[in-house]
Amino acid sequence: MFSEELQHISWEEVSSRIAAMTDADVRRALSKEQCTVDDFMALVSPAAIPHLETMARLSRRYTEERFGRTISLFIPLYLTNSCTNSCVYCGFHISNPMARTILSEEEIIEEYKAIKRLGTFENLLLVTGENPAKAGVPYLRRALELAKPYFSNLKIEVMPLKAEEYSELTRHGLNGVICFQETYHREHYRLYHPRGMKSHFEWRVDAPDRMGQAQVHSIGMGVLIGLEKEWRTDVTLMACHLRYLQKHYWRTRYSVNFPRMRPAENGGFQPNVVLTDKELAQLTFAMRIFDHDVDISYSTRETPHFRDHMATLGVTTMSAASRTEPGGYATHPQALEQFSVSDERSAQEVEQALRTLGREPVWKDWDTSFDQASSALINTPVIRP
Ligand code: SF4
């Protein structure tokens, strides 16, 4: 389990190593085809800032070699804002006396139909707060079953589950799971997540191991940038986690996401750091140079201008036309949203912008029949001459 590996990595030591990176370290990293975590530290360090243009060129090259000019488009659907956790940075936390919504089966179907009217979406991400009693595995299983006639690629972003629960959901159409660690700083993690299941650091950090054991096709990772002032250390630990997972679950596809917090306007949680566009670009380039195969995903938290720019330089997956309130597409458009969307363009506007930039928007990049085909291949005995 990665939690055991993490015990041997010192946050302070990683921070010091990043701070000590030199121009020579950055040049060495840029000259390598296969980068180590040490190289990633150099690329994400302040010493790499004078090399941003070179990094952007390399990032584009590696991305186009691996993904062509495609950008995969997906849409999230929030099924509920009911949550038993108390994350200090989230408006859905249990102590907020807000109205809670859990979509019924009829409402879920209405939302699916409304999404299909927005665009040619085939990649759907189902999102919930964490309330296992009211929106647990049976509820998710049903939502997946209901989604199958409408979408070909189903992912979830929900509470961490047991391996057997991930397995069960894969039998009901689940293709991918996203679970952000939020932060790898064990002590600070407890301050940000004081109560509820999410307060258990190890249970969360080992969730991707359980996904790998359950042979989930795609695993999504992320840190919430804004929690830790030393964000470079946090993303380095995520890079270590990524390498660890790739070594242990090599059949799985991986994606990373760097959601960044913005200053709260109405007295909410104030981020400890606000990442600039330039820093987020550097991080994106560093991740692409470090790992040519990983999907890099940007959400509609980012502005249209920045998303368009980065779509040509390393990003491979984007959400579009997103609503972050449960039932936001049809049944509960006035519910409280989890975070504000900066890119409010329609799916067609995003698609058109990408085409203008010479990108090829992809609405469907997976079909559950591929799963059956690949498992048939895996189970087929190899005939040797
Ligand atoms: S971040 Fe997720 S788990 Fe935490 S309070 Fe918000 S909805 Fe609940």
Going by alpha carbons, the residue nearest to atom 2 of ligand 1 is 129
Residue with the two structure tokens 């961490």:
160
**What is the tens place of the pLDDT at every residue in 57-69?**
999 999 999 999 9
Closest CA to 130 of 160, 169, 165: 160
Ligand 1 pocket: which of 80, 82, 93 to mutate (most atoms within 8 A of CB): 93
Distance 329 CA to ligand 1 centre (A): 21
* Domains with residue ranges and CATH for the chain: 2-366 (3.20.20.70)
Between the alpha carbon of residue 32 and those of residues 40, 85, 291, 294, the distances in Å are 11, 43, 12, 17
* 39: three-class secondary structure by DSSP: helix
Is the model's pLDDT at 150 over the cut of 90?
yes
**What is the tens place of the pLDDT at every residue in 183-216?**
999 999 999 999 999 999 999 999 999 999 999 9
Distance 203 CA to ligand 1 centre (A): 15
Average predicted confidence (pLDDT) for the chain? 93
CA of 93, closest atom in ligand 1: 5
Q: Where are the beta strands (DSSP E) in the chain?
A: 70-80, 123-128, 153-157, 174-178, 218-222, 253-257, 295-298, 317-319, 360-362
- What is the structure's pLDDT at 364? 83
pLDDT category of residue 382 using cuts at 50, 70 and 90: very low
Is the model's pLDDT at 378 over the cut of 70?
no
Angstrom distance (rounded) from CA 285 to CA 342 = 22
The set of protein residues with a Cβ atom below 6 angstroms from ligand 1 is 83, 85, 87, 90, 92-93, 129-130, 198
Distance 157 CA to ligand 1 centre (A): 11
What single-letter amino acid sits at 106?
E
CB atoms within 10 A of CB 149: 8
**What is the tens place of the pLDDT at every residue in 229-282?**
999 999 999 999 999 999 999 999 999 999 999 887 677 889 999 999 999 999
Is the model's pLDDT at 376 over the cut of 70?
no
Inter-helix orientation angle 23-30/52-67, to 10°? 20
**What is the tens place of the pLDDT at every residue in 22-70?**
999 999 999 999 999 999 999 999 999 999 999 999 999 999 999 999 9
pTM confidence score? 0.94
Going by alpha carbons, the residue nearest to atom 7 of ligand 1 is 129
Q: Where are the beta strands (DSSP E) in 89-131?
A: 123-128
- What is the structure's pLDDT at 374? 53
> If you write DSSP's letter for every residue of 273-337 in order, what string do you get?
----HHHHHHHHHHHHHH-SSSEEEE-TTS-HHHHHHHTTTT--EEE-S---STTTTTT-TTSPP
Between the alpha carbon of residue 142 and those of residues 104, 147, 237, 322, 331, the distances in Å are 10, 9, 35, 22, 18
CA angle, residues 50, 297, 295, in degrees to nearest 5: 90
Going by alpha carbons, the residue nearest to atom 5 of ligand 1 is 93
- What is the structure's pLDDT at 367? 67
Ligand 1 pocket: which of 82, 87, 157 to mutate (most atoms within 8 A of CB): 87
Phi-psi map region of 173: left, alpha, beta (phi>0 left; psi -120 to 50 alpha):
left
